Chain A
Amino acid sequence: MTQEQILLGLASVLAAAAPVLFAVIGETISERAGVINLSMNGTILLTAMGGFAVALRTNSLLLGFLTGMLIGALVALIVAFSSITLKQSQVAVGFVLALLCRDLAYFLGNPYMNVPGPRLTVIPVPWLASLPYVGTLFFNHTVITYLSFVMIFLAWAWIFKTRPGLMLQGIGERPAAAFVRGANVNRMRYLYTVLGGALIGLAGPAYSLSVKAGWAGTISGLDGIGWIALSITIFGGWNPLRAAFGSYLFAFLQWLGLVLQARLPNIPSQVLQVAPFPLMILTLLLVNIGDAEWVARTLATLPEGVRRLLIRLLRVLRSSPPAALGVPFESE
């Protein structure tokens, strides 16, 4: 493989991760507020189909993306209404929505199957794109990929560097304490769930209008992405930066699978296609390995210096969910 090929490959990894990133960041924001939006897998499929269909009919890519955000926001609104107002199980409602949206996408999407349609074009950033290495890697992408870069830092800064973001953390962690500090907990939960849903809704069109342009129904290969995004949210420890790392890791593993497939024809292609999924599960296990008792026992046998280093490392890796995740809030 030439250097140029590797560079282009890595650039394609960054682009391919964009949709997953939107979904993961949207889910992170929603869960930070305490609401699990489990509908993600269905939402991605439905918005991919819907965004493509609208963009095709109106010949406007912008309208396609806006449709995706609108659908995502509406699905999230159902999750929010049933869990916050009706106090129903978020898991049950989200799961049913995930199945419903998927089937709706396949059913309504029939007329648009394999129809050629519009797609985003690559817009190199003037001057920056001509920089060696960095230019190819970061500044030769579609608008939606650039947006995904911006989104990571925007979400991270909002959660950790602003006053409303700090309150968002508080709402998911201990709503009663946030309430005492003046937050309208349930209104904020609605707001962030719907906002998160709109971001998740960007993921679909990011596929169907950019990364995997078009709508191919059940063979789009998009089914399952939502569940992966859900696990990356956990892997990311509800932190956009870590979540971004997880998304890129997943896209990288997928790319690696494709590359190896060409080089190692003896290995059945299915193995390499499926490999990223168990690898993601393994990473998830690694992240929380510090909680296991056998690890603690093994650590105890190591010399003091090494042990302390490892304990610190495991603690950094470990992620714990917002304490009030999935728990409805009622002020007295």
Chain B
Amino acid sequence: MDVTLHDIHKTFGRVHANVGITLHVPAGTIQGILGENGAGKSTLMKILSGFIRADRGEIRLDGRPVVIHSPSDAIRHGVGMLHQDPLDFPPMRVLDNFILGRHGGLSLGRAAARRDFRQLAEQFGFALDPEAYVDALTVGERQQLEILRLLWLGARVLIFDEPTTGISAAQKEKLFAALRLLAEQGRTVLFVSHKLEDVEGLCHKIAVLRQGQLVGEVRPPYKTALLVEMMFGKNIVTGERAPAEPREVTLHLDSLSAEDNRLAVRNVSLSVRGGEVIGLAGMEGSGQGLFMRAICGLTRPTGGRIRVGGRDLTGRSYLSFKRHGVAFLPAARLEEGLVPGLNLTEHFVLAEEQRGFFVNWEAGRALARQRIGDFNIRGAPETTVESLSGGNQQRALLALLRLPLTLLLLEHPTRGLDIESTIYIWSKLRERCAQGTSILFISSDLEEILQYSDRVLVFFSGRVTPPLEAAALTSDRLGELIGGKGWPEKGRER
């Protein structure tokens, strides 16, 4: 289906999120929508998918002007959207998720739906069990489910909002293959992303948004420098890696083992020196999260010893790890890291050691103002954390860490952030390293792992490689290991 957006305007309060955007996407095209966070990509897509109404402008499908009142209205017109966090029902079965929302009689018609599901899944090469529970699926598999569901509902235009966030490299390949197939079938794909490599590798043309405006459209061959300039209005240089000078060992793991009810990580031995950065790579849920939680006392290890700065902390609580200079920043910033509803000043007051019974708000505000400046957070001391953007939430989390730290554990430190924020976050992390803090971080972004780590541990369903020198590692080799290929024989690993 042919999609035309004509002169779309949308304002939220004083923010002009979409300023007269006009875009034409012919049927069978994969259209990239590129822009940094807050550029207006999501607003534009939400207008097309019926979540919000434009203040002005027109949507034409196959040349016919349409008014879309709601998401379910959009799907009636053949427009479906996949959200970054798939809008499905985790405690329910795949098949029930698939059926839910489809019109029909009183009965669920599970048998017929299962047949259609199998057929569609086969078409795209998705291996999904219709009887599995959605909360046992990876984000990538949940996306696959949503694709199939929207197609079953008759979607001819599919919008993907940051679909490569939080999925593995192998799943990304599968997703891209599916998107290409959709385009071949004459469907229209809108691919929203801030990741250059993704849009460059996939899209037939790319529209770049900046501050609510369409900067321009680009067709292949793409020049990365040009795209970056269009996105940010300036050139950005990524920092160079400085070789870490040998310092003393901050973290020593001796045959550490940990397990939860899903998998077990066994016998990991590792010595990390001050200032060193260790990347933990692997598909989501391969054991790296468990491993990290075991290192900081959030999960009790089932074997082995943990020494931090020469002190044995095995079996201690997170609190005592924290007292010895260990900090953990979880991936779920708002759920596990920050306290929604409290503002920045209140966060800094909570994080700092307080003397006396009454809170010194004056000092708290001053501290907040200073850290906001230091970390370039776009917000005021009175801003509540949930109203900050993802990048600014991450900056706030870093700003909340006390000095000095022995060991900093980060889970997906730059997930969902644009390039500028990513670079900024890493420059701040590098400052920490220079002060002697060791960093362990989890990422599903291969480039990030290779660019910022000194050494890399790869996880695959609970198995762990010995520490690999990042400098000697290629992204192909890393991708293979993550996908479970090229591992040493079982029983001889680690």
Which listed residue (A162, A164, A180, A296) contacts B72, Cβ 8 A?
A: A180
State whether the Cβ of B15 lies closer than 8 Å to any Cβ in chain A: no
Given A179-B71, A181-B72, the answer on whether A167 and B91 have CB atoms closer than 8 Å is: no
Q: Report B-chain residues with C-beta under 8 Å of the C-beta of A180.
A: 71-72, 87, 101
Closest to B76 in A: A182
Q: Report B-chain residues with C-beta under 8 Å of the C-beta of A331.
A: 51, 70
- A161–B100 contact, CB under 8 A? no
State whether the Cβ of A197 lies closer than 8 Å to any Cβ in chain B: no
Interface residues of B in 77-121 (CB under 8 A from A): 87-92, 96, 99-108
Given A180-B101, A332-B51, the answer on whether A166 and B108 have CB atoms closer than 8 Å is: yes
Q: Report A-chain residues with C-beta under 8 Å of the C-beta of B51.
A: 331-332
Q: List 14 A-B contacts (CB under 8 A).
A: A162-B107, A163-B99, A166-B100, A166-B108, A167-B100, A173-B90, A174-B87, A176-B87, A178-B101, A179-B71, A180-B87, A296-B261, A332-B46, A332-B51
Report, nearest first, the 4 A-B pairs whose CB atoms are least far apart: A181-B101, A182-B72, A177-B87, A180-B71
- A174–B100 contact, CB under 8 A? no
Residues of A within 8 A of B (CB): 161-164, 166-167, 169-170, 173-174, 176-183, 296-297, 300, 311, 320, 323, 331-332
Q: Which of B100, B102, B105 has the most CB of A within 10 A?
A: B100
Residues of B within 8 A of A (CB): 46, 51-52, 70-72, 75, 87-92, 96, 99-108, 261, 300, 302
- A173–B92 contact, CB under 8 A? yes
Which listed residue (B88, B106, B108) contacts A174, Cβ 8 A?
A: B88
- A173–B87 contact, CB under 8 A? no
- B89–A177 contact, CB under 8 A? yes
Q: Which of B92, B104, B302 has the most CB of A within 10 A?
A: B92
Closest to A296 in B: B261
- B92–A163 contact, CB under 8 A? no
Given A182-B72, A182-B101, the answer on whether A170 and B302 have CB atoms closer than 8 Å is: no
Which listed residue (A174, A179, A183, A300) contacts B302, Cβ 8 A?
A: A300
Given A180-B71, A180-B101, A332-B52, the answer on whether A311 and B89 have CB atoms closer than 8 Å is: no
* A169–B90 CA distance with the chains assembled, in angstroms: 11
Given A163-B99, A166-B99, the answer on whether A323 and B91 have CB atoms closer than 8 Å is: yes
Closest to A290 in B: B261
Given A170-B89, A174-B88, A320-B91, the answer on whether A163 and B104 have CB atoms closer than 8 Å is: yes
Report the minimal beta-carbon distance from A320 to chain B, rounded to whole angstroms.
7
Closest to A300 in B: B302
* A161–B96 CA distance with the chains assembled, in angstroms: 10
Q: Report A-chain residues with C-beta under 8 Å of the C-beta of B104.
A: 163
Closest to B89 in A: A173
Q: Report A-chain residues with C-beta under 8 Å of the C-beta of B46.
A: 332
Closest to A167 in B: B100
Closest to B149 in A: A181
- B87–A311 contact, CB under 8 A? no
* A66–B104 CA distance with the chains assembled, in angstroms: 33
Q: Report B-chain residues with C-beta under 8 Å of the C-beta of A323.
A: 90-91
* A170–B102 CA distance with the chains assembled, in angstroms: 13
- Inter-chain contact count A-B, CB under 8 Å? 68
Report the minimal beta-carbon distance from B258 to chain A, rounded to whole angstroms.
12
Q: Report A-chain residues with C-beta under 8 Å of the C-beta of B88.
A: 174, 177
Q: Which of A161, A162, A180, A323 has the most CB of B within 10 A?
A: A180
Q: Which of A161, A173, A177, A320 has the most CB of B within 10 A?
A: A177
Closest to B153 in A: A181
Q: Report B-chain residues with C-beta under 8 Å of the C-beta of A164.
A: 106
Q: Report B-chain residues with C-beta under 8 Å of the C-beta of A296.
A: 261
- A169–B108 contact, CB under 8 A? no
Given A170-B89, A170-B100, A180-B101, the answer on whether A161 and B261 have CB atoms closer than 8 Å is: no
Closest to A181 in B: B101
- A162–B52 contact, CB under 8 A? no
With A176-B87, A182-B103, A183-B101 given, can you name 8 additional A-B contacts, CB distance below 8 Å?
A161-B107, A163-B106, A164-B106, A174-B87, A174-B88, A179-B70, A296-B261, A331-B70
Report the minimal beta-carbon distance from A257 to chain B, rounded to whole angstroms.
37
* A48–B52 CA distance with the chains assembled, in angstroms: 48
- A162–B108 contact, CB under 8 A? yes
Report the minimal beta-carbon distance from B396 to chain A, rounded to whole angstroms.
25
Q: Report A-chain residues with C-beta under 8 Å of the C-beta of B108.
A: 161-163, 166
Q: Report B-chain residues with C-beta under 8 Å of the C-beta of A182.
A: 70-72, 75, 101, 103
Q: Report A-chain residues with C-beta under 8 Å of the C-beta of B300.
A: 297
Report the minimal beta-carbon distance from B482 to chain A, rounded to whole angstroms.
29
- A169–B92 contact, CB under 8 A? yes
Q: Report A-chain residues with C-beta under 8 Å of the C-beta of B99.
A: 163, 166
Closest to A177 in B: B87
* A178–B99 CA distance with the chains assembled, in angstroms: 12
* A174–B90 CA distance with the chains assembled, in angstroms: 9
* A179–B99 CA distance with the chains assembled, in angstroms: 15
Report the minimal beta-carbon distance from A296 to chain B, rounded to whole angstroms.
8
Report the minimal beta-carbon distance from B189 to chain A, rounded to whole angstroms.
19
Report the minimal beta-carbon distance from A76 to chain B, rounded to whole angstroms.
24
* A180–B87 CA distance with the chains assembled, in angstroms: 8
Q: Report A-chain residues with C-beta under 8 Å of the C-beta of B105.
A: 163
* A177–B89 CA distance with the chains assembled, in angstroms: 7
* A66–B2 CA distance with the chains assembled, in angstroms: 56
* A174–B134 CA distance with the chains assembled, in angstroms: 13
Q: Report A-chain residues with C-beta under 8 Å of the C-beta of B90.
A: 173-174, 323
Q: Report B-chain residues with C-beta under 8 Å of the C-beta of A166.
A: 96, 99-100, 108
* A161–B110 CA distance with the chains assembled, in angstroms: 9
* A176–B92 CA distance with the chains assembled, in angstroms: 15
Report the minimal beta-carbon distance from A107 to chain B, rounded to whole angstroms.
41
Q: Report A-chain residues with C-beta under 8 Å of the C-beta of B72.
A: 179-182
* A331–B52 CA distance with the chains assembled, in angstroms: 9
* A180–B102 CA distance with the chains assembled, in angstroms: 11
Which listed residue (B52, B92, B100, B107) contacts A181, Cβ 8 A?
A: B100
Report the minimal beta-carbon distance from B272 to chain A, rounded to whole angstroms.
28
Closest to A161 in B: B108
Q: Report B-chain residues with C-beta under 8 Å of the C-beta of A178.
A: 100-101
Q: Report B-chain residues with C-beta under 8 Å of the C-beta of A183.
A: 101
* A243–B102 CA distance with the chains assembled, in angstroms: 29
* A311–B22 CA distance with the chains assembled, in angstroms: 56
Q: Report B-chain residues with C-beta under 8 Å of the C-beta of A161.
A: 107-108
* A297–B105 CA distance with the chains assembled, in angstroms: 48
Report the minimal beta-carbon distance from A51 to chain B, rounded to whole angstroms.
31
Q: Report B-chain residues with C-beta under 8 Å of the C-beta of A173.
A: 89-92
* A105–B459 CA distance with the chains assembled, in angstroms: 64
Report the minimal beta-carbon distance from A315 to chain B, rounded to whole angstroms.
9
- A311–B261 contact, CB under 8 A? yes
Report the minimal beta-carbon distance from B131 to chain A, rounded to whole angstroms.
14
* A179–B96 CA distance with the chains assembled, in angstroms: 16
Q: Report B-chain residues with C-beta under 8 Å of the C-beta of A181.
A: 72, 100-101
Report the minimal beta-carbon distance from B391 to chain A, rounded to whole angstroms.
22
* A177–B107 CA distance with the chains assembled, in angstroms: 21
* A311–B87 CA distance with the chains assembled, in angstroms: 29
Report the minimal beta-carbon distance from B266 to chain A, rounded to whole angstroms.
14
* A183–B102 CA distance with the chains assembled, in angstroms: 11
Closest to B106 in A: A162
* A283–B107 CA distance with the chains assembled, in angstroms: 35
* A176–B107 CA distance with the chains assembled, in angstroms: 24
